[in-house]
Homo-oligomer: A and B are copies of this chain.
Amino acid sequence: MRAVIPYKKENAKSRLSPVLSQNEREEFVELMLRDVVSSLNSAGITEIDILTTSSEGVPEDLDVNLIVADPGLNTSINSYLQNVDEPTMIIMADLPLVRSSHIKKIVSYPEDIVIVPGKGGGTNILFIRQPKDFTVKYHGCSFISHYEITEDLGKSRRVFDSFLASIDIDEPHDIVELLLYGNGLSKEYAEKRFCAETGKGRVKISPLSKLSGFI
């Protein structure tokens, strides 16, 4: 069993630019990657491939294999899958709330494919028992795409219903969930910069500097 994590550091997470500078976003994605690798390791998955367009952004101390591929998420993952002979988990790098308990559960199901939906129609994790047969289609409403691809292939399928695993950190309000439910390096990083602000409706984030101005 192995896992593959598509990863891009340079100018990553542009939708977080209203609250984090480019440097901060690049530091932040690296910490999220570390959290994901740590959860995989704790769940017993140690064969981890990082699929990236440049080896430079991947921290050298991580015990992972680097696969440098041309840009294009779908093309690079689909080429990757053609060369894999064992059950494989495709897991995004921006899922710091995924715990080892989620990973263990996902790989324990008997179905051919496990799909973990993300907020807004995304696919956060795909676990595929026979990767050679499968093609991915990320972007757009990828949950529906993967659901249908599974159907077309006549594969058995399970949708894994988890709030924590649904939260990819993409937009500023996602950081609220990280502050509330996180337990790793990226949570620590967010805590140094933001606090949760309550009011009418959902909790929002506030920059900590806003508060320190009063001191």
Contact = CB atoms under 8 A, between A and B. Distances in A.
B120 A203 contact: yes
Contacts of A109: none
A82 interface: no
Contact of A140 (B120, B165, B203): B203
Contacts of A161: 162-164
Interface in A165-215: 165-166, 170-171, 173, 176-177, 180-181, 196, 198-204
A143 interface: yes
A204 B119 CA distance: 11
Contact of A121 (B117, B120, B143, B202): B202
A84 interface: no
Nearest to A117: B163
Given A15-B201, A198-B140, A203-B140, A120 B166 contact: no
A120 B163 contact: no
A62 interface: no
A122 interface: yes
Contacts of A202: 119-122, 170-171
B164 A121 contact: no
Contact of A201 (B120, B163, B177): B120
Contacts of A204: 120
A68 interface: no
A5 to B, nearest CB: 20
Interface of A: 15, 117, 119-122, 139-141, 143-144, 161-166, 170-171, 173, 176-177, 180-181, 196, 198-204
8 contacts: A119-B177, A121-B196, A121-B202, A121-B203, A139-B200, A141-B198, A143-B180, A171-B201
